[in-house]
Amino acid sequence: MENFDDVYRWRVGKYRAFYRIANSRIILMAIEHRRDAYRHDTLPSDDELILIEPDDQFELPALDDSAPADGDVEPLPAVPMSPPGDPLPRPLAEPELARLGVPADQCGPLAACRTVDELLEVLERLPPAIADRVLALALGTTLEEVLDDPVLLLDELPPSFVDVLRGHVPLHYLLDPSQEDALQRIRNQDGPFLVTGPPGSGKTLLGLLAISPLLARARQRGNPQPRALFVTFTRTLARTLERLARVHLSAADRLAVAFKTLDSLVNDLAPDALLADGPAVVALVAQARQRAFTRPLSPDPARDRKLAGSLHRITNLYIQEEIEEVILGRGLRTLEEYRAADRTGRQLPLNANQREAIWCVYETLSDLLREQGLFLREERRQLAWETVRQDPAVTRYDVVVVDEVHDLSLTALRLLHELCRHPEALLLLGDTGQSIYTRTVRWDLLRAEFPGLVSIELSTGHRCPPEIAAAAEAYRAALPLDDSRGESSAVTHRKRPGRSRPLLVLLSRWDAWPDALARCLAERLRELRLTSGHAAVLVPTNQLADAASEALWARGFEVKHVRAGQDLSQGSGVKLLTWHNAKGLEFALVLLVLPDWEPPPAGWSDCEVDEVRESIALWRRTVYVAMTRASRALVVLRPQHGTSALLEGFPATVWESVTFASESTDAPSDGLPF
């Protein structure tokens, strides 16, 4: 077809089927009546409708069905998509809504809708998946949108196409060449494996699909009932994977897999080691720092004073992170090991005296924790690792898949390696560019830890349109604060370019952010023809999340505040998460709130600039990861003017920008809304 050299049309009676051919497969894109097919002969723009009408039973009698044969007339002009306030192109019938899985009590209200606004209002009562089906039926889908959608495969032809529409037929994603190659290598080679790739490249899905061939190999080794473990970072992700497993794994394989977080595993293996909470750790580190160098019977008080002085401009926060990430995270057991440790990723260099001083604080902190029967998170992981090593009765797994490996310590990975009965069936998934909790992870450390590690790279981004990916990359590259953290290659995008750029909303007064957020959310939902269940608002802190939730509820939006560890609702309502809690998820529309704020220790007095740089680098990666959660549209709300290093990196070449001026005449607030 003109302008789409990889799209073909097939005449079937009064209907036309649009399809593509790729990887020796026929990909069905749409089926429409021949009267509409004339409008797609040349497809001069992306504004045209592709309507799916499964049979003649519900065709509108008022429409003329006397379209001429192909070639008898010139192509009709394109029919533009209806703006939200316009009448629906066609009314909906209750029987066809029922076929799409719409609950019976909502079929009547939907059939009564006559405008797009009315339709979107009723669809707010339905889960996003069902709302999508109704919108496609009522408003059609542009060919560009169809080409952007993932391709789904049928294992076998269904008895009825209606079963496909209702979701009763198993469908599987068509893998891109790099994914197919990766799965083939996992199927035919021994691991352990390390699969890397950019955001949205399908690492998690690949890990899920790899379970079946890895379990099959375990059965070939003589184990008729092998077990698999899929470890992910949050309970939200674990629940999401359980839902995906019902679609992509056979019943036998699905029942062989346990989806767990690392923390839940540690709780099972070290139940008596109580975790010290955040405030307790902060207080104990401060106490340990004081006690370590003021020993009443010190054999060398002058030496103690010198060590204490070496930490003069290093904050307690940095010392705490050094203990947890470097000393405990690497499993270092002696001062000599710590002195020799490679700390790449920590930007504040430490000399020999400073390392010795931090080791003294660490030993004192350990004593204080034991006095209260408490343990740091990495200490509990080390205890769990030692338990597995010493107790053969602990459950082992034939297959272990570890997601988000870039945010796990070597101590954690040693534990998971020990749980894997066959190390060649260990599969690690990650991307150092998305590390938002750890600073020192590097692939060369993993290769040294796991000899023979087979590296596999995915090269196609499936989630973000190229415009959003380019804007996120521009943001990340604007302040090159990071040391090199790993290899990266050129990325191709499955979605085609040509969409509008992401939107940057500049607030002349920051106290207007609640009004700007609600207005942008409403306008983008209408423009994209989405219900609120497709949207997520991402904010930096829980305090700002509470404020955003209150603001949106007050302005008429249903809000689902997803806190750490909670399941991500598949129902209606705007999803509200912190940047960190959005890790591993995706949403059609993302609105990211970016205040003029810098994380600690920025702004603290008498603090080393390298410590500030390291913190800013970590948080900028977090903003980058939050941006790449968007699969269709991205909006960033930020102050028009500000001093935070998080506000850098919005070039006009990749962002559309508008200024939001508050109508309020009240004096601006003195502080941030959190």
In terms of pTM, does the model score above 0.75?
Answer: yes
- Taking the C-alpha atoms of residue 350 and residue 332, their distance in angstroms, rounded to an integer, is 16
What local confidence, expressed as pLDDT, does residue 217 receive?
A: 94
Pick the CATH number of 177-265+390-458 from 3.30.70.1140, 3.40.50.300, 3.40.50.150, 2.60.120.10: 3.40.50.300
Does domain 466-660 bear CATH number 3.30.450.20? no
What local confidence, expressed as pLDDT, does residue 225 receive?
A: 95
Query: Would the CATH topology of 177-265+390-458 be identical to that of 466-660?
Result: yes
201 is in an annotated binding site: yes
Residue-wise pLDDT tens digits, 559-609: 999 887 677 777 789 999 999 999 889 999 999 999 999 888 877 767 788
What local confidence, expressed as pLDDT, does residue 534 receive?
A: 93
The yes-or-no verdict on residue 193 having pLDDT over 50 is yes
Lowest mean pLDDT among 46-50, 228-232, 484-488: 46-50
CA angle 209, 214, 218 (to 5 degrees): 150
pLDDT band at 75 (very low <50, low <70, confident <90, very high): very low
The yes-or-no verdict on residue 78 having pLDDT over 80 is no
What local confidence, expressed as pLDDT, does residue 4 receive?
A: 63
Average the pLDDT over 470-479 and give the result: 93
Residue 184: how many other CB atoms lie within 10 Å: 12
| DSSP notation for 572-585 | SSEEEEETTTTTT-
Percent of the chain residues topping a pLDDT of 90: 59
Residue-wise pLDDT tens digits, 52-65: 333 333 333 333 33
Average the pLDDT over 36-65 and give the result: 37
- How much is the mean pLDDT over the chain? 84
Residue 144: how many other CB atoms lie within 10 Å: 17
Residue 306: how many other CB atoms lie within 10 Å: 14
The better pLDDT of the pair 170, 288 is held by 288
What local confidence, expressed as pLDDT, does residue 6 receive?
A: 67
**Torsion angles phi and psi, residue 638, rounded to 5:** -150, 160
Enumerate residues 6+ apart whose C-beta is below 8 A from 485: 345, 432, 433, 435, 441, 442
The yes-or-no verdict on residue 51 having pLDDT over 80 is no
- Taking the C-alpha atoms of residue 292 and residue 359, their distance in angstroms, rounded to an integer, is 10
What local confidence, expressed as pLDDT, does residue 53 receive?
A: 36
**DSSP secondary structure letter of residue 364:** H
Percent of the chain residues topping a pLDDT of 70: 85
The token duo for 155 is 């294992």
671 is in an annotated binding site: no
Residue-wise pLDDT tens digits, 321-377: 999 999 999 999 999 999 999 898 888 999 999 999 999 999 999 999 999 999 999
The yes-or-no verdict on residue 404 having pLDDT over 50 is yes
Instruction: Enumerate the domain spans of the chain.
Output: 1-62, 82-149, 177-265+390-458, 278-374, 466-660
Asked if 316 and 285 count as a contact pair (C-beta separation under 8 A), the reply is yes
Residue-wise pLDDT tens digits, 639-672: 999 999 999 999 999 999 999 986 654 434 434 4
202 is in an annotated binding site: yes
Residue-wise pLDDT tens digits, 439-455: 888 899 999 999 999 99
Whose tokens are 């994209």? That residue is 528
What local confidence, expressed as pLDDT, does residue 63 receive?
A: 30
Lowest mean pLDDT among 29-38, 146-155, 335-344, 354-363: 29-38
CA angle 208, 129, 27 (to 5 degrees): 65
The yes-or-no verdict on residue 182 having pLDDT over 90 is yes
Lowest mean pLDDT among 35-49, 152-166, 249-263, 538-552: 35-49
200 is in an annotated binding site: yes
603 is in an annotated binding site: no
